Amino acid sequence: MDVGAMAAKEDVYAKVTPRRQRQARGNTVKHGSALDVLLSMGFPRTRALKALVSTGGKNVQAACDWLFSHVDDPFLDDPLPREYVLYLRPSGALLQQLSHFWKQSRLSCGKNKAHNIFPHITLCQFFMCADEKVEALADAVQATVSKWKGRIPMPLPLELYTSSTFIGLFVEEQMAEVLKSFAADFATEAASKADVHVEPHKKQLHVTLAYHFQTSHLPVLEKLAKLVDVSSGCDWLAVLFSRDIRFANHETLQVMYPYGPQNDDELELMQGDFIFMSPVEQSTASEGWVYGTSLGTGLSGLLPENYVNRADESDTWVVHGSHSFVSSASPSNCSSSRGLMLDGKTNETLDSMVDSSSLTALCPPMTVSKAAAPSSPSRMRLFVCRHGERMDVVFGKHWVTQCFDSKGRYVRSNLNMPSSLPARGGGHWDYDKDCPITVFGSTQARLVGEALLESRTAIDFVYCSPSLRCIQTAQHILQGLQQEAQTKIRVEPGLFEWTKWVSGSCLPAWIPLPELAAANLSVDVTYRPHVPLSKLVVSESYDTYISRSFQVTREILTECKNMGSVVLIVAHASSLEACTRQIQGLSPQNSKDFIQVVRKIPYLGFCACEELGETGVWQLVDPPILPLTHGPNHSFNWRELLTQD
**Would you list which residues are annotated within the binding site for substrate?**
469
Q: How far apart are CA 512 and CA 514, in angstroms?
A: 6
Q: How far apart are CA 574 and CA 409, in angstroms?
A: 33
Q: Which of 47, 530, 572, 581 is catalytic?
A: 572
> Could you tell me what percentage of the chain is helix, strand and coil, using 3-state DSSP and rounding each to the nearest 5?
40, 15, 45
DSSP 428-446: GGGGGTS--B-HHHHHHHH
- The answer to whether the peptide bond before residue 258 is cis (omega within 30 degrees of 0) is no
Which helix (DSSP H) or strand (DSSP E) does residue 51 occupy? helix 45-54
Q: How far apart are CA 58 and CA 36, in angstroms?
A: 15
Beta strand residue intervals within 278-360, DSSP E:
289-294, 300-304, 308-310, 318-324, 341-342, 345-346
Residues 6+ apart with CB under 8 A from 618: 382, 580, 583, 584, 609, 610, 611, 612
Residues 6+ apart with CB under 8 A from 131: 46, 49, 50, 52, 53, 81, 82
- List the binding residues: 469
Active-site residue, 490 included: no
In 3D space, the residue among 128, 136, 131 whose CA is nearest the CA of residue 44 turns out to be 131
Q: What count of Cα atoms within 13 Å lies in the side-chain half-sphere of residue 250?
A: 29
Active-site residue, 387 included: yes
Phi, psi (degrees; rounded to nearest 5) at 514 = -60, -35
Which helix (DSSP H) or strand (DSSP E) does residue 243 occupy? strand 237-243
- Is the CB of residue 401 less than 8 Å from the CB of residue 432? no
Q: How many CB atoms lie within 10 A of CB 275?
A: 27
Residues 6+ apart with CB under 8 A from 119: 89, 90, 95, 98, 102, 207, 208, 209, 362
- Is the CB of residue 277 less than 8 Å from the CB of residue 251? yes
Q: How far apart are CA 183 and CA 197, in angstroms?
A: 12
Q: Which of 250, 338, 386, 581 is catalytic?
A: 386
CA angle at 428 for the pair 426 and 432, rounded to the nearest 5°: 100
Q: Which of 250, 387, 490, 548 is catalytic?
A: 387
Map residue 455 onto helix, strand or coil. Answer: coil
Q: How many CB atoms lie within 10 A of CB 3?
A: 7
Q: How far apart are CA 605 and CA 594, in angstroms?
A: 16
Q: How far apart are CA 589 and CA 574, in angstroms?
A: 12
Q: How far apart are CA 495 and CA 206, in angstroms?
A: 37
Active-site residue, 476 included: no
Which helix (DSSP H) or strand (DSSP E) does residue 122 occupy? strand 121-122
Active site residues: 386-387, 572
